[in-house]
Amino acid sequence: MGVAVCLAAPLILISCGAGGGGGSASTASFNIEPLGTQNLSAAEVDDIVARAVQASISRGVQSTIAITDRVGNVLAVYQMNNAAPNTTITSGLPGANGNGLDGFTPVPSTLAAIAKAITGAYLSSTGNAFSTRTASQIVQEFFQPGERGQPSGPLYGVQFSQLPCSDLNVWLSQSNSIGPKRSPLGLSADPGGFPIYQEGRVIGGIGVISSVNAGTNGIYGLDRDILTSETDLEEEIAFAALSATFRAPEAIRANRITANGQTFQFSNTTPAVAGLAPLAGNGNYVAVAGYKTAANSIAGTSYGTTQSGYVATSNPAFNGLDTFTLITNPADNTAVRFPPTAGSNLTQAEVQNILAEGMKTANRARAQIRFPLGAAAQVTVSVVDTDGDVLGLIRSSDAPIFGTDVSVQKARSALAFSSAQALTDFSAIDNGQHAAFATAMNSFFTQSANVLNGTAAFSARAIGNVHRPYFPDGEEGKPKGPLSSPLASWSPFNVGFQLNVVTTKVLGTLGAPVRTVVGGNQFAPDPSQTCVDDTNIPAGRQNRFANGLQIFPGGFPIYKGDTLVGAVGVSGDGVDQDDMIGYLGVLNGANAVGSTMRPFPSTLFTANELSNSGEFLKYVQCPQTPFNDSSAQNVCPAP
């Protein structure tokens, strides 16, 4: 069997056929346009759930099954009669148990299943199909997991995005409405979650949590060793629930995509499609507070329609760039949520040009995690003000949904770490409980006894460098980075500073998942319920932490001279691509309007000038020969 995939914008032509050796080849093809009207009907949701139930029965387990659409609406949650009501979060690392989220119980199985389903939907696109097993590979201390001495996963830290306390995610409506919706536990790295496709387009996700009986908690964990190929029952059940109509196209599954010369995993098993079990008598659909108001199954939204919250951009500044935006009203596609807006030190034209130039760079860039090879990168680009408010957000039409929240996290993180108030604010969170991390970070570098005072510029990549359990990254035997948990207690559920500053709010939403909404506006929630709220942090800076922090590449502070004026964040089809698009977006955006803004300061330290015992951080890393239309190399000028 041979598979050829060709890009012919604006269509992706996928052809499958057998041939070779001079023989004839038969080819079946279909065109995937950027948008379609596909969505899951309530009857199709019922069909998928019934197959998951039958797959569970045949394997002798009881399951909780969740289905979402592409933007995170929960379409159904079904619990079999003796399914365990709760699950335990665990990495399986004894020293981590009881630290961070590791060992935490009880977590309602309904919420764990929803998190898996959202992950499958959010990490995927028409160019890549990623599962929760794929997620497990890219968030651990080694890439690949189990291959010791390697650098950490390329998306280390992404599991703490889409948080239930995020101010970016929609809260008011709990059923079929605009997205993006929050995930109860962030992104999941526990096998048993898959994207759902129809005619090549991702339209949702499925997540499964199983147990032998109600007296045994389910396990919410991850695959710690890629060198083994054990079968995971939850993964088998979730995959068996999807008929050929709903399975991801083989050509774009994670195992067809590489990073650092290594392939990802999609599934350790390819089970036959299960039969249909009767839903009546085997369990019940259930309502889930904060996520699903009624117990019955419902239809999903079609991505790209106003009902989904993601629509094509009408702003003429982005004409011809294939861009999408978020809206606030499903009845009005002109009600843009984050239009380009002036900030305290950035003009509307400057913000607009950063977004436009970022998208121009993305459209030329060769994507890393997208098939076919040579496809353009699809990303989300966001700009924030010095208080953390979003001044503008724009997306490629098919960018993975997870990047919406992550792009803002990256921008806010670069802003917060580069600000003059960094040490003060970090030490104030949770009444000083995390001051030790901030103090360790502040004194880590040999060049200066103090760096969290606005004298050094930190990119998201640089922040990640000092947030690994080994410094330098992956070098066993070396001490941890100052923001990491101690090695004896580290796990992907206990990474350190990034998680610690949001743990209280994440756990709080498990017991109180319905958040207060101010004035009936789902985009203006009670600020005390966002990811970091502390009366010791001035209100004008709390939005810097309102959807948590992010610690993998793609975020930069923006300066005019040595004055910090905002930040940019990018997330999508490859971390080096994210760096390049954000970095050049600012530089080219400045050139377009004659601005002095830069993604680095004029005379202050940048992170690449900071070292510990001679080991320097990285500030920006752009791909070599990154463009489809040019052989240019070294395209990012050094700060």
Which is nearest to 416 in space by CA: 561, 569, 526, 527?
Answer: 569
pTM value is 0.94
pLDDT at site 216: 86
pLDDT at site 520: 65
Domains of the chain: 2-32 (no CATH), 42-302 (3.30.450.150), 310-467+551-616 (3.30.450.150)
385-441 confidence digits (pLDDT tens): 999 999 999 999 999 999 999 999 999 999 999 999 999 999 999 989 999 999 999
Give the chain's mean pLDDT.
90
Residue type for position 13: L
**Half-sphere exposure of residue 295: CA atoms within 13 angstroms, side-chain side:** 6
281-305 confidence digits (pLDDT tens): 999 999 998 899 899 999 999 999 9
Which is nearest to 523 in space by CA: 204, 181, 288, 292?
Answer: 181
DSSP three-state, residue 599: coil
Q: What confidence tier does 172 reach under pLDDT thresholds 50, 70, 90?
A: low
473, 152 Cβ separation under 8 angstroms = yes
Q: What confidence tier does 262 reach under pLDDT thresholds 50, 70, 90?
A: confident
Which residues are CB-neighbours of 151 under 8 A, at least 6 positions away? 142, 143, 473, 474
Which is nearest to 303 in space by CA: 399, 376, 391?
Answer: 399
**Mean pLDDT score, 553-569:** 98
Strands 390-396, 380-384: pairing kind: antiparallel
- What are the φ and ψ backbone dihedral angles of 166, each rounded to 5 degrees? -65, 140
How far, in Å, CA of 386 to CA of 204, rounded? 35
Mapped to the 3 state alphabet, what secondary structure does 292-310 carry? ECCCCCCCCCCCCCHHHCE
pLDDT at site 519: 65
Which is nearest to 543 in space by CA: 456, 416, 395?
Answer: 416
**Chain CA centroid to CA 410, Å:** 11
532, 545 Cβ separation under 8 angstroms = yes
Which is nearest to 440 in space by CA: 498, 482, 399?
Answer: 482
435, 427 Cβ separation under 8 angstroms = yes
Q: Which helix (H) or strand (E) holds 28?
A: strand 23-32
218 strand-pairing partners:
87
How far, in Å, CA of 161 to CA of 620, rounded? 22
Tokens linked to 158: 């992404």
**Mean pLDDT score, 500-505:** 92
Give 3-state DSSP helix, strand, coil % of the chain, rounded to 5: 25, 25, 50
How far, in Å, CA of 100 to CA of 483, rounded? 14
pLDDT at site 30: 35
Q: What confidence tier does 465 reach under pLDDT thresholds 50, 70, 90?
A: very high
53, 80 Cβ separation under 8 angstroms = yes
How far, in Å, CA of 635 to CA of 639, rounded? 12
How far, in Å, CA of 28 to CA of 603, rounded? 59
Nearest 5°: CA angle at 195, between 397 and 1?
A: 95
Q: What confidence tier does 357 reach under pLDDT thresholds 50, 70, 90?
A: very high
Tokens linked to 221: 């964990």
How far, in Å, CA of 639 to CA of 637, rounded? 6
Per the listing, tokens 């935006």 go with: 325
190-212 confidence digits (pLDDT tens): 999 999 999 999 999 999 999 98
| Residue 213 exposed, middle or buried by CB count within 10 Å (0-12, 13-18, 19+) | exposed
78, 286 Cβ separation under 8 angstroms = yes
Across 412-448, b (16+ Cβ under 10 Å) vs e yields: bbbbbbbbebbbbbbbbbbeeebeebbebbbebbeee
**Mean pLDDT score, 263-270:** 92
How far, in Å, CA of 407 to CA of 571, rounded? 5
* Cα dihedral sign, 161-164-166-172: positive
DSSP three-state, residue 583: helix
